[in-house]
Amino acid sequence: MMMGLLAFESHQGLWNSGYYSQLFGIGGVMITVAILWLSTGYFGGIGAPFAPYFWPYLGQLPKKEQKRPVRVYMDGCFDLMHYGHANALRQAKLLGDQLVVGVVSDEEIVANKGPPVLSMEERLTLVSGLKWVDEVIPNAPYEITEEFMNTLFNKYNIDYIIHGDDPCLLPDGTDAYALAKKVGRYKQIKRTEGVSSTDIVGRILLTFKQKEAGRMKNTTDANVDVNQNGGADSCDQVKSQLSNFLPTSRRIMQFSNGQAPSPGDRIVYIDGAFDLFHAGHVEILRSARQLGDFLLVGVHDDQAIRDRRGYCPIMHLHERTLSVLACRYVDEVIIGAPWEVSRDMVTTFNISLVVHGTVTEGSSAGDIDPYVVPKSMGIFRSITSPKTITTVSVATRIIDNHEAYKKRNLKKKASEDRYYAQKKFVSGD
């Protein structure tokens, strides 16, 4: 049935029992005889001394060709990067072997969306820090032009261009990915619902508006406790007005490495709010990971953050958890980690070193030092924060230019409202 060909399942399969029956044809018979002589001395005691005469036939064995890895490309602004961006890139990686990500230039963002909040350097740090990203192209165009598409195919060996199921329109109303679709090199993933950069800008504006209102109220009435009156209710208001996030255990599993530390691993622990996940977070996590073999990250819950800062976090606990899990330097996360590091916690997780950065968000005066125990055990280290950026400094950029960002949000919100109004079920995760 099959003439002169050898079929085998693996490199070693030919030398294992049970494969000789797969050899067919005259050439196959001769090779079978040679192998039997060599390995068993079959056929009347004629053995290995005669096998070299048949070695030339073994050169006809088909070699298993190594397939070129499938390379996929996905681009974006990745401004105010969140778990929705991370999940999009995770899905894109599943469609190939290597993921190349284009980060759109500042100029293109201004022309198509409005002013970016984060600089190109900060956005590159965030994208490069994701566990699913293999390569980054800075200053990518917003539109997939014919010239850039050919660059992707010929220079970067891209097989497919990926985008979400939500429309990406240019100012003139045309599809930014029309050319990729036309040549049959486009693949679609499911948009991650419940969060967007537009949504986050809205949360920032509302959160700090309420914070300022609380300060004014406190100035008017010295007996008012701002934390009580502007705390939990404010958090709930932000959630109800601006968040559609529905956390699931499946999503957490998709983001998790799913691996425990190996025996003898040096486990490093670092904790924080990790609110509005930014380049400073990526760099401090990189520094912490370099001090050991396994990085365990504690993410504080919303209540603990509000109690110490006087206002609720912009991103909720599970949103912040997903952003941390998506970072390539993180091995495991404690969701809702205790504010103080106890001896029991050190023992339970076999922590070798507890670290904290020199740049921190504000906390209430008179707070108990959360690192008293690890300091007494001689396992605490303060490490220099590579960047001075903080959640508040990022939010301040928006507050200081709120008119420009309100205008940008109104434009984007109209587009998102249309998406949700016309939304249909799309398979994928």
CB 295 within 8 A of CB 385: no
At a CB cut-off of 8 Å and minimum separation 6, what does 186 contact?
Answer: 160, 161, 162, 163, 177, 180
Tens-binned pLDDT, residue by residue, of the chain (429 aa): 444 433 333 333 333 444 434 444 555 555 555 555 555 444 444 444 444 554 455 555 566 677 899 999 999 999 999 999 999 999 999 999 999 999 999 999 998 888 899 999 999 999 999 999 999 999 999 989 999 999 999 999 999 999 998 777 777 778 889 999 999 999 999 988 778 888 888 888 887 776 655 554 444 443 334 344 444 455 655 454 456 778 889 999 999 999 999 999 999 999 999 999 999 999 999 999 999 999 999 999 999 999 888 888 999 999 999 999 999 999 999 999 999 999 999 999 999 999 999 998 765 545 789 999 999 999 999 999 999 999 999 999 998 887 776 665 565 555 555 544 665 656 666
- CA dihedral of residues 380, 386, 391, 392 (deg, nearest 10): 100
pTM for the model: 0.77
Strands 267-272 and 135-140: unpaired
Q: What is the pLDDT of residues 329-373, one digit of tens each?
A: 999 999 999 999 999 999 999 999 999 999 987 655 457 899 999
Q: What is the pLDDT of residues 174-217, one digit of tens each?
A: 888 999 999 999 999 998 877 888 888 888 888 777 665 555 44
Structure token pair of residue 151: 């660059």
DSSP 382: E
